[in-house]
Chain A
């Protein structure tokens, strides 16, 4: 009895119930669509159609099966996403540090940080392409630009949230600037930094898929638009949407995992997300 209770209460069960619930809602809509539309697969396919198509050994492009096609495309897109994400994270963190150290930098950089986010990729892309001269490096740069804003803002918020008492304590110890950062600011900001990472990691993947469509190639984004255009079955589109969502969630959990490794002393309330 208690065992059953524990199983019911476990996090796995909760997640499972959610997943099943979402799928059930999806299926209800899928059945409605199937009954009312001429080409239901273009509006909302059944979950099992997506799963089946993924494991089917039927060639979707003539040469590759669905799983092969998605695996190769994922490889390309994810490697670009990872590099872009790394660059974005490092830059975002450094910028947050700089902004915290100097009020002048913060005052200057903050509005521009936001403006850069506002410039549509379409406008930036030709310029970045002209600078890098190569579409793949342009894609990484753009993925970095799109991801570093959440990291920067969240980390800065973390620095700002350091309590006054801590400042005063460090001051009474006559701590140097460097010590203050190592002992208070940086440890204190880590949870905030990870909030930023948790937002930007999935964003890096979305951004990477988005910038695939800037020019042809073999990434997920290219396959996705090719499938929409009708060059191959629409299930390629759905499989990619589902897979990229799964990868996004995994990237989110991965950030949580890293956070746990880096600061095992958990703050209250946080474990709920993980």
Chain B
């Protein structure tokens, strides 16, 4: 790693951290509350949130695992499905395009509202509440994640560099070769673009799907319970946890992207 690159990496960690520290100070000294016109009950102090996380670490960890499983399961399912649809659309452009439109229509369905109906659909899977509830939740997340992957992956598979396809043709490359050597590699950066959208939305999807799930578990469910009950510090403890999960997943994604792109360049 060159010095410049190292400096760059350092900056992209340090700069947000500085802002975080500044934000923390404003928040803890209640300046933020004055700026937002709110109070310490609706927006509890960081130390108070930290205290609650410390007191309930075990319970929080359990809920976190449950939500994480739903988010990741749904993310993988949705991304695979989305990429699959994009593949089909590339191979059969004429018919696939219609399929893409249908998938993007998924985005337009108020999925949250569908949650009770998805509960009805998954009822016959298992008599165990936690099993059928997990599947129902994953389906919600899956629908959240499919569209962005399919649209982005389709772009990646079809928007090739000018003349690259012609070049392949002059090599008398078969369609399959064009696909493997040109289209698939070309779609990789687009996959990351899609994941940058769908990783956060998979977390949100998991939390929201928990609001209406039959099983009273998960970070999202705890947030809703505590907000409705007026227990804002506890609710914010779970919100903080949700953010941490999101940041961690995102950081992993960036790392993977960095490694993959570096290898591609090298």
Please state if B208 and A272 are interface contacts (CB–CB under 8 Å).
Answer: no
Partner of A120, one of B99, B120, B208: B208
CB within 8 A of B120: which of A42, A112, A213? Answer: A42
- A contact residues around B129 at 8 Å (CB): none
Report if A203-B204 is in contact (Cβ < 8 Å); known contacts: A123-B235, A267-B159.
no
**A43: contacting residue among B117, B204, B245, CB under 8 A:** B117
- A122 nearest in chain B by CB position: B227
Chain A's closest residue to B219 (CB) is A120
Q: State the CA gap A272–B19 with chains docked (Å).
A: 43
The answer to whether A206 and B109 touch across the interface, beta carbons within 8 angstroms, is: yes
Instruction: Tell me if B80 is interfacial: C-beta within 8 Å of chain A.
Output: no
With both beta carbons as reference points, the residue of chain A lying nearest to B112 in the complex is identified as A210
The interface bits of chain B over 19-30 (1 if a CB of A lies within 8 angstroms of the residue's CB, else 0) are: 100000000000
Note all chain B residues with C-beta closer than 8 A to A220.
110
- Decide if A195 touches B155 in the complex (CB within 8 Å): yes
Contact in complex: A195, B151 (CB < 8 Å): yes
A249 at the interface (CB under 8 A from B): yes
* Contact of A157 with B by CB under 8 A: yes
A18 touches B99 (CB 8 A): yes
* Distance in angstroms between the alpha carbons of A107 and B245 in the assembled complex: 20
Q: Which residues of B contact A22 (CB under 8 A)?
A: 102
CA distance A118 to B207 in the complex (A): 10
Query: Contact: B197 with A252, CB < 8 Å?
Result: no
**CB–CB B113/A224 < 8 A:** yes
CB–CB B113/A248 < 8 A? no
Q: How large is the interface on B (under 10, 10 to 19, 20 to 34, 35 or more residues)?
A: 35 or more
Indicate if the CB atoms of A122 and B117 lie closer than 8 Å: no
Chain A 253-274 residues near chain B, CB threshold 8 A:
267-270, 272-273
User: Which residues A76-91 have CB closer than 8 A to chain B?
Assistant: none
Does B242 lie within 8 Å of A18, measured CB to CB?
A: no
| CB–CB B110/A224 < 8 A | yes
Known contacts A42-B120, A252-B101; A120/B242 CB under 8 A? yes
- B114 and A241 contact, CB distance less than 8 A: yes
A122 touches B223 (CB 8 A): yes
Binds A, one of B56-64, B89-97, B131-139, B167-175: B89-97
Main secondary structure of the interface of A (DSSP, over half): helix
What residues on A are CB-neighbors of B224 within 8 Å?
122
Q: Could you say which residues of chain B place their CB within 8 Å of the CB of A237? A: 113, 117
Is A225's beta carbon under 8 Å from chain B?
A: yes
Q: Main SS of the interface on chain B?
A: helix
Interface residues of B in 177-221 (CB under 8 A from A): 193, 196-197, 200-201, 203-204, 207-208, 220
Whether a CB of chain A sits under 8 angstroms from the CB of B38 is: yes
A206 & B104 in contact (Cβ 8 Å cutoff): no
Q: How far is the CA of A165 from the CA of B113 in the complex (A)?
A: 49
Check A101 for interface membership: any CB of B closer than 8 A: no
Does A117 sit within 8 A of B, measured CB to CB? yes
Q: Does A251 contact B (CB under 8 A)?
A: yes
Q: Which residues of B contact A14 (CB under 8 A)?
A: 94-95, 97-98
In contact, A149 and B200 (Cβ under 8 angstroms): yes
Instruction: Verify A268–B151 contact, CB threshold 8 A.
Output: no
Would A154 and B247 count as touching, CB distance under 8 A? no
Q: Which residues on A sit within 8 Å (CB–CB) of B96?
A: 272
Q: Which of A9, A118, A213, A273 contacts B100 (CB 8 A)?
A: A273
**Binding stretch for chain B, among A47-55, A57-65, A125-133, A166-174:** A125-133
A252 to B100, CA, bound (A): 11
Interface residue B152 (Cβ < 8 Å from any Cβ of A) = yes
Asked, given contacts A9-B94, A118-B246, whether A111 binds B204 with beta carbons under 8 Å apart, the answer is: no
CA distance A269 to B109 in the complex (A): 26
Residue B105 at the chain A interface, CB threshold 8 Å: yes
Cβ contacts under 8 Å, A210 to chain B: 110, 112-113
| B79 contacts A by Cβ under 8 Å | no
Q: Are A120 and B220 in contact (CB under 8 A)?
A: yes
Q: Does B36 contact A (CB under 8 A)?
A: yes
In the complex, the chain A residue whose C-beta lies closest to that of B235 is A123
Q: Is the CB of B104 within 8 A of A198?
A: yes
Q: Which residues of B contact A248 (CB under 8 A)?
A: 105, 107-109
Interface string of A111-147 (1 = CB under 8 A from B): 1101101111011001100110000000000000000
Using a CB–CB cutoff of 8 Å, the interface residues on chain B facing chain A are 11-12, 15-16, 19, 36-38, 42-43, 89, 93-102, 104-105, 107-114, 116-117, 120-121, 147-148, 151-152, 154-155, 158-160, 193, 196-197, 200-201, 203-204, 207-208, 220, 223-224, 227, 232, 235-236, 239, 242-243, 245-247, 250
Knowing that A202-B108, A252-B107 touch, tell me 16 more A-B residue pairs with CB under 8 angstroms.
A43-B120, A104-B15, A111-B250, A112-B19, A117-B204, A118-B242, A120-B223, A122-B227, A153-B193, A202-B105, A209-B110, A210-B112, A220-B110, A245-B109, A273-B97, A273-B154
Instruction: List the 7 closest pairs (A to B, CB-CB), nearest first.
Output: A248-B108, A269-B158, A202-B108, A18-B98, A118-B246, A202-B107, A209-B110
Q: Can you list 10 A-B contacts (CB < 8 A)? A: A43-B121, A108-B16, A115-B243, A118-B245, A123-B236, A202-B105, A221-B110, A249-B101, A272-B158, A273-B100
